[in-house]
A and B are shown apart, each in its own frame.
Chain A
Amino acid sequence: MKLLKTYVILIVIVAIFAGAMFALNLHTGPIIEKNNAGAANDKLNAVMPGGSGYEDITATLTARPASVTTVYKETSGLGFVMLCTAESSYSTAPMEITLGIAADGKISGVEITAYNDTASFDFRTKDPSYLASYVGQDSALADVGLVAGSTFSSTAFRNSIVAAMEVMTANNLIAAGVKGDDQILTELIPTVAPGFTKLAEAEGTGNIQKVFTAENGTGFAYIVNSGDATVLAIVNAMGVCKVYDVEGADITANAADVVAEAVAHASATPNKFTDDLTTKVGRMMEGAADITPIALDTFNTVVSAVSFTVDGTTYYAFYSRSIGFHQMDVFFVIDENGAITKMDAKQFIFDEEYFMAFGGMDVTAYKDGFVGITGDTFTGDEVIIATATMTSNAIKESTQDVFTAFNALKGGAQ
């Protein structure tokens, strides 16, 4: 009987409180639910100020690249929020980006929720205003550059934003931004001059609007006023100039004035690549004579080329400056038949832990491995150094560029 009373009392207590909680929940339940929904929206509202609710429209999009993971539509019509990723050579995992695009096609906000690149190259630290510079831009991204000292990471980030904007324009969700001539020409540089890396921008003089200087010394690019039009002039380290119009067509033959102005500007900053290459040839090939510089119209990483003779046989030497973990200086000697005779690089002593494998690497055997390779037999596997992917890729780029230069040379000679 006493036990029964105990149970009854306990059950009554539980029942009363359960009832009270049920009643209270009628009031607090909806508020809590709203709070929880609000918390999920906070992340999206951070890039879409004033957003009230979001609808996932990812599945309805066509031509969506892998870098765009989720797309939300703001339900009151303010715009869109996209979750994107970006990956550079320094990424341990993809960077995670939240991008807000207002209905008028302009970026309303952008945030990096996870940054997985090397911390010392964090472009947010190098340029604290960088993310803010995206806000208000349309899909043309006209006023957004890259961050010096964090080129790989900021390029990856920018490309991810570009890809995200492209999806939105391709699906007719936002209007595409209109690019100015100078922007179109600036974006043309990587296509026509792939060897020009880490471009530094400066104001020009005279007809030259803007000057881009490749940090690796491979050349200069100029945005030049030519009459009513704006054109792009590129000058490589060997002093050869090419001119392109906004359509991307080569108009060098009709733009002598532009060529003259660009070459004059470029030659004001002389380089010593040919001197370096001449010295190097003297060391690499005993008895080298008649060393003659050659000017090539290639705009890759080759900065200098010479021809020379050893005992009456003609050889060609090339100097390529590609970028791996650091700036690379790679030298090749190629014979008349297009086969590599010698290969060398300044950077075979590496102090970075990244290249630990280099400590035990047989450098001589590695260099000898290039001998006899021609442009036709080169596969890219010859250059691979385990654990030094970025350096391997740089050497691969150099090798390919040198063969391109050799073909240009031979093509020009014929």
Chain B
Amino acid sequence: MDFKVILGVILAGILSNNIALLEFLGTGAVLENERSSKKSLTLGLGTTLVMVISTLITWPLNKYLLHEVSYLQTMAFVLVVLIVVEVIHLIAKNILDNYCRSDFVKFAINGAVLGLCIHNTHQETLVAALINSAAIGIGFMLTMTVYAKLKDTEVDEEAIPPTFRGLPIDLLTAGMMVLALLALNFKF
């Protein structure tokens, strides 16, 4: 795989394949996120790491062990993600806790990670799966950071109709980001 292809995959992960906004995986985690953009960036980075390491385990696991018992896939993948998150948490406890206490564990186990691991089983090779994970992870991280920054911005609450305050306006904000991404994709 040459450099251009890798760059393309990474750009796609950030833009056209954006997992949280367009694929609705881990959307809840992004929308619910109330942390500062700096904390979000750290969490996102951690999640990216979880995605890559989980894929490193789940892809071979699926290919060599689970093809006969595909009904165990979700259970096995959740177990892998759990272990990976716990191990990363143990190793990086000091760094992480400075920023975001222990909610890393809860946060990193989200639909985006599991969904990505399942998606990646369709990749031809482990290398392709890993690159895709990194790309999607970076996309997830950026989405979270940008969205957190947007939420940090001061807005005039009075300008929003009362019934739209809270989740509806959050959804519309995310919807605007989706529109921008879709415009790049030429598919509304």
Contacts and interface: CB of A to CB of B under 8 A. Distances in A.
Interface in A3-28: 14, 17-18, 21-22, 24-25
B75 interface: yes
Contacts, number: 13
B72 interface: yes
Contacts of A29: 71
Nearest to A24: B71
Interface string B56-72: 00000000000001011
A128 B79 CA distance: 54
Contacts of A24: 71
A21 B70 CA distance: 11
Interface string B149-168: 00000000000000000000
A21 B76 CA distance: 12
A33 to B, nearest CB: 11
Contacts of A21: 71-72, 75
Contacts of B75: 14, 17-18, 21
B79 A14 contact: yes
A22 to B, nearest CB: 8
A24 B72 CA distance: 12
B185 to A, nearest CB: 21
Contacts of A14: 75, 79
A22 B75 CA distance: 12
A353 B76 CA distance: 57
A233 B71 CA distance: 70
Contacts of A25: 69, 71
A27 to B, nearest CB: 11
Contacts of B71: 21, 24-25, 29
A24 B75 CA distance: 15
Contacts of B79: 14
A76 to B, nearest CB: 30
Contacts of A18: 72, 75
A21 B79 CA distance: 16
A329 to B, nearest CB: 41
B134 to A, nearest CB: 29
Interface in B85-116: none
A30 B75 CA distance: 21
A311 to B, nearest CB: 65
A118 to B, nearest CB: 20
Interface in A162-185: none
Interface string B72-86: 100100010000000
13 contacts: A14-B75, A14-B79, A17-B75, A18-B72, A18-B75, A21-B71, A21-B72, A21-B75, A22-B69, A24-B71, A25-B69, A25-B71, A29-B71
Pick the 6 closest A-B CB pairs, nearest first.
A21-B71, A25-B71, A17-B75, A18-B72, A21-B72, A18-B75
Given A21-B75, A22-B69, 11 more contacts: A14-B75, A14-B79, A17-B75, A18-B72, A18-B75, A21-B71, A21-B72, A24-B71, A25-B69, A25-B71, A29-B71
Interface of A: 14, 17-18, 21-22, 24-25, 29
